């Protein structure tokens, strides 16, 4: 780190407790003091996993520990290589690979309870 005008120092922090599986091709969005992380792949499978990293407590949380909704209504689609964007209090998940085929689906995730709605992209009532 010598002679670096941008990075002045680096601190390594040990995190105790739950830590999600290592995986690539995730989506991540910053929501207030949390980081929403979904999906990804570890070369053998696509993940449905949603984890929340609390930047204040520096702890990982499983989505079912955070949401007050029935787990059936929490976003749980297996995807890797998908995209996301946060607009107001809604996360939009777009595309990705589900382990068998590529998806063109769009999902809206409410950041209050992490429930989701699939967007009708064809306009005729079919997804």
Query: Are 21 and 38 a contacting pair, CB within 8 Å?
Result: no
Residues 6 or more apart from 53 whose CB is under 8 A from it? 34, 35, 37, 59, 60, 61
Tokens describing residue 103: 């998806």
Look at residue 70 in the predicted model and tell me its pLDDT. 76
Q: Which of 60-64, 83-87, 112-116, 119-123 has the highest mean pLDDT?
A: 83-87
Tokens describing residue 23: 């995986």
pLDDT (mean) for 59-71 = 83
Tokens describing residue 52: 């929340």
DSSP sequence for 15-32: --S--PPP-BS-EEEEET
Look at residue 6 in the predicted model and tell me its pLDDT. 86
Mean pLDDT (the chain) is 87
What end-to-end distance do the CA atoms of the chain give, in Å? 51
Q: Is 18's pLDDT higher than 60?
A: yes
**Tens digits of residue pLDDT in 22-34:** 999 999 999 999 9
Q: What is the pTM of this model?
A: 0.81
């Amino acid at each position: 780190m010598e002679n670096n005008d941008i990075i002045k120092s680096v601190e390594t922090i040990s995190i105790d407790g739950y830590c999600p599986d290592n995986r690539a091709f995730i989506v991540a969005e910053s929501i207030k003091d949390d980081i929403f992380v979904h999906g990804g792949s570890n070369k053998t499978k696509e993940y449905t996993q949603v984890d929340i990293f609390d930047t204040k407590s520096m702890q990982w949380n499983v989505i079912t520990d955070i949401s007050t909704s029935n787990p059936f209504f929490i976003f749980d689609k297996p995807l890797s290589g998908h995209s996301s964007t946060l607009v107001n209090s809604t996360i939009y998940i777009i595309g990705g690979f589900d382990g068998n085929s590529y998806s063109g689906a769009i999902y809206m995730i409410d950041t209050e309870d992490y429930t989701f709605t699939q967007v009708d992209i064809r306009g005729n009532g079919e997804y």
